[in-house]
Amino acid sequence: MTTADAAGSLRGRDLISAADLSAAEVRTIFARAAALKAEFRAERRHADPLLRGRTLAMLFQRPSLRTRVTFEAGMTQLGGHAIYLTEDVVMGAREAVRDVARNLERFVDAIMARTGPHQVVEELAAQATIPVINGLTLREHPCQALADLFTLHERFGDLRGVVLAFVGDGNNVYHSLALLGSTLGMEIRLAHPAEYGPNERIVARARELAGASGGRLVFTSEPADAVRGAAAIYTDAWTSMGQEAEAEERREAFRNYQVNAALAAEAPDALVMHCLPAHRGEEITSEVMDGPRSVIFEQSENRLHAQKALLVECLG
């Protein structure tokens, strides 16, 4: 486990949970991301390769489009290099997690892991002396939350009091949004069927953070109640990786939780968000996903910029 080298610095730090970041640290990442995004959009390159000579090991036990491409492209664009390691190469049956960590810390500058059990990234961080970044676990997806709230920051500036309504499963993406949004003083709402709520320990931690920041958590079983007055309506797939056997059961449980034109009309000014991949016609309709209020592909692009900012702050 690595620690900051100075008060408020992210240099050398792990990102395992969205709760690992203070509001000031999130604002630092947002400012860096905005600058990197503006430069990249203007020039498709960066004049100063801030990660020249740096190497990121990327451990994948779960498939990915956005996580792999944004981390790998981001390292390249900043002058560094990323090494893609698949499930058959690392961890578990072939080699213990602690041994993977102790090897990689001698080869590379940081590790990004996308896995199932949250304990895998926790053990990597505990054993490695270099930064470890959670690229997704069943418990959290902090890099997604950073990109999502950076997307809202671009639209609204200060996020204190901004309402985000999550419609669907109390899953890993919701967990990280609740934690990070609570840190920033947002109101994070969740509309979900009774048996598909979030982790109670995550909720308790988010409430602590909200109490300190002036934020708020709201829970309901009614999607329309959740979205009224919201600045953003957010949804995710009803069936996540590893839950395929529950697909039919989940379709039935969530059939009244679709983000469609009727639900979006309850909050006529709200942005529409989705972390992707989307199952069009299930949790969201194409009409809404491709409509004028959708910022879904802006969120996707912002994975690149927010993660580049995180890497620069941790490694620069």
pLDDT tens sequence across 95-152:
889 999 999 999 999 999 999 999 999 999 999 999 999 999 999 999 999 999 999 9
Q: Structural domain boundaries of the chain?
A: 18-141+303-309, 144-299
Which of 5-19, 155-169, 173-187 shows the lowest per-residue confidence on average (mean pLDDT)? 5-19
Q: Are β-strands 110-114 and 55-60 bridged in parallel, bridged antiparallel, or unpaired? A: parallel
Give the pLDDT of residue 244.
76
6, pLDDT greater than 60: no
Answer yes or no: 258 catalytic: no
From 144, 258, 299, 307, the catalytic residue: 144
CB contact at 8 A, 135 and 103: no
Average pLDDT on 270-276 reads 98
Supply the CATH classification number for the domain 18-141+303-309: 3.40.50.1370
Average pLDDT on 158-165 reads 98
What whole-number distance in Å separates Cα of residue 250 and Cα of residue 256?
A: 11
From 13, 61, 275, 305, the catalytic residue: 275
| Within this chain, domains 18-141+303-309 and 144-299 share the same CATH topology | yes
Report field, pTM of the whole predicted structure over 0.85:
yes
Answer yes or no: 275 catalytic: yes
Angle in degrees, CA 57, 63, 69, rounded to 5: 55
CB contact at 8 A, 61 and 114: yes
The CA-atom distances, in angstroms, between 156 and each of 163, 186, 213, 231, 268 are 11, 12, 17, 9, 16
DSSP-assigned letters across all residues of 165-209: EEES---HHHHHHHHHHHHTT-EEEEE--GGG---HHHHHHHHHH
90, pLDDT greater than 70: no
CATH topology of domain 144-299: Rossmann fold (3.40.50)
pLDDT tens sequence across 245-265:
788 999 999 999 999 999 999
From 109, 148, 169, 236, the catalytic residue: 236
pLDDT band (50, 70, 90) for residue 8: low
